Structure 1
């Protein structure tokens, strides 16, 4: 009888539905899309699909006068591109603040049943809903879940994992953490991610991954800080393999104001008004492309969905990322390392940002490989000092860095094997000792 009971228990566990099929999403600030046509949206979605992203998370602010047009364009494009979207209701957006129940329900009634709205197959095709903050409105969601039949994974990071999981009697179906950046100058760890998993006791966890953070929008928003971002993107994807969350959300596709966008810069209208409205003392976006961080996404996402098993390397590629000026080249612009408003200890940004040129390559192996970083006319021999988790000689992402020193000029990376170039990265702005408006730009470049 015991073996029958054990067999039945094993069958029951095997039949239990997973929280998710390990989808990966990219956070989109809807307020930054007013200049996008349906064709523009389609181009973004096709690029996201090619990068193995499963859906866009539309951060929607209550009462934004452009919501109707932007949402119509987005959902039309999503149907054309056979792509998926879902909402993250922003409860902290300026100037209108928190959503009320009626506002949430109206948008879900209009779009939740749309063929382009993302639904969680493992949860009976419930439409996925998230938030940016909003724990003071937690009680609203008992009624909203019943009326919209949604699968609810909010970001209530301000409460911390345990309190967020218990809010409104445990109304959440899971939680998203916005804790994607380290309190520097130390590196990001998985401590908070694992605290979320523990607090959720089997409910879904959506883990954040971000490449960078710098914001200088002092007017009205009073935002002027940076977080330690050197090597962050690849580090976080390594941590995704360790944590194996139910979902991953990339922060972000197009948040130019906080410098963690990964889409190509195509229209200045997407961010120019934002920078001017909130008093940015310099344009820290235009000459700072980030699309290099898209290159390895298909590999990383395939590895995540395979439970950490390393997939075949279809194409060897390289990525180069750096700031365009040494930390002391210009006045720091009043930027702090860390954000004192969050109770963090302010650190001079010069102590947070390493004056290095970082590089990474997706390779079948590092055997017989030579790495060269070139700045201007100077060639700098380099080495990969961080191999993939399985070690040297295995397929995966290899990483390294070289000091900027006093070098200036165009920056490029060449990876050769046996004298033949197998991967290279170039085309970003030059390394220089001059700065726009005599203010340091703490944003990065990824090519």
Structure 2
């Protein structure tokens, strides 16, 4: 191999870091009231490690935390991470026009504010009925990509001042698997303008104080949706969410100081406590890199497995009024047992095919793969039923007699979270066997990524 070839490879890897496509995570600023500098730094470092490009800062009017925003932007600048505003027009109603303009103009030129084609990125959660947006966009010179899912893609796209659209349609309706029909409708309506595709792993909320008590089908959603992103190739992706504990779709770390929603929403119990979701970030570097570079060479430095499941059979505990789907969202309601399956889901990132077994208590059953990568390298996915089986869970990946990776997870029990009322927790417990698996760093070349490059070059030179 010539030095010129090495130089070209290095250029392609390093140059590939500047991407037109981007992945964001929806971040609830209201949950950061008690955040220290360390908390912000830790969250941002975890997001960077997962190859997330920016936090979409969801903010309801009258809940803005100026001190928290200052910390966030200063630390994001130090860590070369980006942030942008997603104004929430649903939680506390519409924002006063001038408040939106003033906050945008205060931060839009900050080095940490995310820009697209040199324009500050501006998003929303709803706000479709407001007539202020043309003036807001004009006076802030923004790239405007709102979520106006309540009026549908055609009506939203008919506004000429909209630069693109974000959809909140991230979960299947009813006892079905998620598909891309809603995404196709947005792409058609936008007629070439950018589309921000939503991805979410789960949804369960029981906050009667906020008139919310329903569950949507999750099960295989996290795996399936990323495969759809890689195939669909949207201009942007937004993960819902980083830290919305009250809706159970968080992928960030659990923070006791950020659990106020359970008290404010009169939750019957804290259904996020001791229910980590960090494992859902394990393969994010891999799938995000695949999304951004679908034809790139797959490098798997470490084989891992991730598993998620509910801790109680769906029929053991009472629903506490939780419905499957919600009439408030214009949906047909079901019993939760009609939507959710008593199954243990697992995904493994493997270099070559391998077997999977699942142990529940004293019972061990062979697993199978419902999804297999086309060339044998990549993410394998499957599940097994647990139904009436109880006990500790172990998911093991083996190749021959060798155990490649395994997880020992929390036990499945018939003891409900609130014994006196027997209330079901429809949230998921998520575990991972090890560290994140990355292909190449999308935010600069860290020591690990440089090592990956050197390793690959040595392979090319037949020196390793």
Please show how residues 159-308 of structure 1 align to structure 2 within 5 Å. 159-167=151-159, 170-219=160-209, 221-265=210-254, 267-271=255-259, 273-307=260-294
Q: Secondary structure at the match of 2:382?
A: strand
Quick check: 1:400 aligned with 2:382?
yes
Give the Cα–Cα distance (whole angstroms) in 1 for the partners of residues 37 and 91 of structure 2: 25
| Structure 1 residue 109, shift from structure 2 partner | 1.3
- 1:132 is aligned to 125
Quick check: 1:47 aligned with 2:37?
no
Q: Secondary structure at the match of 1:329?
A: coil
Give the Cα–Cα distance (whole angstroms) in 2 for the partners of residues 93 and 48 of structure 1: 26
Quick check: 1:419 aligned with 2:396?
no
Q: Secondary structure at the match of 2:287?
A: helix
| Structure 1 residue 307, shift from structure 2 partner | 3.4
Contact kept? 1:42, 1:80, Cα under 8 Å: no
Please show how residues 290-329 of structure 1 align to structure 2 within 5 Å. 290-307=277-294, 311-329=298-316
Contact kept? 1:382, 1:402, Cα under 8 Å: yes
Q: Secondary structure at the match of 1:372?
A: strand
Contact kept? 2:304, 2:348, Cα under 8 Å: yes
Q: Secondary structure at the match of 1:41?
A: helix
Give the Cα–Cα distance (whole angstroms) in 2 for the partners of residues 69 and 112 of structure 1: 17
Task: Report the aligned-residue RMSD.
Answer: 1.3
| Structure 1 residue 309, shift from structure 2 partner | 5.2
Give the Cα–Cα distance (whole angstroms) in 2 for the partners of residues 430 and 289 of structure 1: 14
Contact kept? 1:91, 1:132, Cα under 8 Å: yes
Q: Deviations over 1:258-289 (max 9, x none)?
A: 00000121x21211x21012111121001211
Q: Deviations over 1:311-369 (max 9, x none)?
A: 32232110010000000011111111011112211100011110011111011121xx2
Aligned partner of 1:156 among 148, 157, 160: 148
Stretch moving more, 377-386 or 50-59: 377-386
Give the Cα–Cα distance (whole angstroms) in 2 for the partners of residues 77 and 93 of structure 1: 27
Give the Cα–Cα distance (whole angstroms) in 1 for the partners of residues 145 and 387 of structure 2: 45
Give the Cα–Cα distance (whole angstroms) in 2 for the partners of residues 379 and 157 of structure 1: 44
Quick check: 1:381 aligned with 2:374?
no
| Structure 1 residue 310, shift from structure 2 partner | 6.3
Give the Cα–Cα distance (whole angstroms) in 2 for the partners of residues 217 and 93 of structure 1: 14
Give the Cα–Cα distance (whole angstroms) in 2 for the partners of residues 333 and 404 of structure 1: 23
Contact kept? 1:62, 1:90, Cα under 8 Å: yes
Contact kept? 1:39, 1:77, Cα under 8 Å: no
| Structure 1 residue 423, shift from structure 2 partner | 1.8
Q: Secondary structure at the match of 1:279?
A: coil
Q: Could you tell me which runs of 5 or more consecutive residues in structure 2 were left unpaired when the two chains were aligned.
A: 1-18, 432-464
| Structure 1 residue 405, shift from structure 2 partner | 3.0
Please show how residues 92-131 of structure 1 align to structure 2 within 5 Å. 92-94=90-92, 97-120=93-116, 123=117, 125-131=118-124
Q: Secondary structure at the match of 1:429?
A: strand
| Structure 1 residue 188, shift from structure 2 partner | 0.9
Contact kept? 1:302, 1:311, Cα under 8 Å: no
- 2:61 is aligned to 62
Give the Cα–Cα distance (whole angstroms) in 2 for the partners of residues 82 and 149 of structure 1: 23
Give the Cα–Cα distance (whole angstroms) in 1 for the partners of residues 31 and 60 of structure 2: 11
Give the Cα–Cα distance (whole angstroms) in 1 for the partners of residues 360 and 212 of structure 2: 33
Give the Cα–Cα distance (whole angstroms) in 1 for the partners of residues 238 and 295 of structure 2: 17
Give the Cα–Cα distance (whole angstroms) in 1 for the partners of residues 370 and 199 of structure 2: 22
Stretch moving more, 125-134 or 339-348: 339-348
Q: Could you tell me which runs of 5 or more consecutive residues in structure 1 were left unpaired when the two chains were aligned.
A: 1-19
- State the TM-score, normalized to the length of structure 1: 0.89
Please show how residues 15-54 of structure 1 align to structure 2 within 5 Å. 21-54=20-53
Give the Cα–Cα distance (whole angstroms) in 1 for the partners of residues 370 and 40 of structure 2: 39
Contact kept? 1:414, 1:424, Cα under 8 Å: yes
Give the Cα–Cα distance (whole angstroms) in 1 for the partners of residues 29 and 428 of structure 2: 23
Contact kept? 1:218, 1:280, Cα under 8 Å: yes
Give the Cα–Cα distance (whole angstroms) in 2 for the partners of residues 181 and 385 of structure 1: 20
- State the TM-score, normalized to the length of structure 2: 0.86
